[in-house]
Amino acid sequence: MTKTILTAPAKVNLYLKIVGKREDGYHELDTLFHPFPALSDTLEVTETGEGCTIHCADFDLPAEDNLIYKAWDKYAQATGFRPGLHIELTKRTPTGAGLGGGSSDAASMLRFLNTHPDSPGLEHDKLNALAAGLGADVPFFLLDGPAWAKGIGEILSPAEVDLSGLTALLACPDVHVNTVWAYKAWSTRDQSTYLKKSDAFNLTTSASGNNRTASQTRVTLFNDFEEVVLPEFPKIRETKEYLLKNGACGAVMSGSGASVISFFKKRETAQKAASVLNSMKVDSVLHTFS
């Protein structure tokens, strides 16, 4: 039996603008994805038997409902390559946090299948199309760096984002935000009830004054979903406010929530903020960009 260890890193959205809604019900996006390697799921893949079975100590989910299984099945349908696999899944990326954990798991499986020595392999465009059929952000996880995404998230362009010297603090309140609800809430919101505000928050123009040379590139932090999510989930709003008041030169909710990504010029300041958040029962992960 051959065993392979796969890692499935999380992602964060540094910018997310909802451009509009399509006739098929999907929303058009303009978003900047960035990998967050400090938080990753692990897939231990054993080649044995027939079919695809998945075990996860933290979730009791039928394999057929898991994106990993769906990736295996869709790839088999497209190529005829259907290896017998058993997968031990270790989840570290929380669900309902806007971090793409399930999508990253699926992309890791697709990459494993496509590079397997017995696989016929798919060309990039075909693999990308298969990934997009599993989820809008799955194609991003087939890349190795930040990218601008348009359409429903499947039209990708590599992005130059220099965060060197900054320490990122990813805060994950114990809150689950349903993505379907978030899109519906944004589409049906009463715009007159929301205050007009700038649609951009720049790391280089932080109102806190902690902004000089924060990043080597102009990084805009913005998320349309905050307009509807923060009023409904005060724990997320309080987390973001705490970060901005305690040394972060920028902070924004990732995806449809509930996680908040923030950036600090000093790792020590970020560590102090993380310690306080943990005492508030808000999980956090640090990552310093080299």
Q: Which long-range contacts (CB under 8 A, 24 or more apart) does 144-150 make?
A: 144/35, 145/35, 146/14, 146/32, 146/33, 146/34, 146/35, 147/32, 147/33, 148/30, 148/31, 148/32, 148/33, 149/29, 149/30, 149/31, 149/32, 149/33, 150/19, 150/28, 150/29, 150/30, 150/31
Nearest to 141, CA basis, from 79, 71, 62: 71
Q: Determine which one of 105, 137, 224, 240 is catalytic.
A: 137
| Residue 11 appears among annotated catalytic residues | yes
* Signed CA dihedral, 11, 12, 14, 19: sign only: positive
**Residues 219 and 54 sit within 8 Å (Cβ to Cβ):** no
Inter-residue contact 255 to 13 (CB < 8 Å): yes
Cβ-contact 139, 132 below 8 angstroms: yes
What's the rounded Cα separation, in Å, for the pair 39 and 13?
14
Active site residue 137: yes
Structure tokens that stand for 228 in this block:
């509807």
Residue 74 · residue 130 · CB < 8 Å? yes
Strand partners, 220: 202
Euclidean distance between the first and the last CA atom of the chain, given in angstroms as a whole number: 38
The conformation of residue 262, written as its DSSP 8-state character, comes to E
Amino acid of residue 199: D
The residues annotated with a catalytic role in the active site are: 11, 137
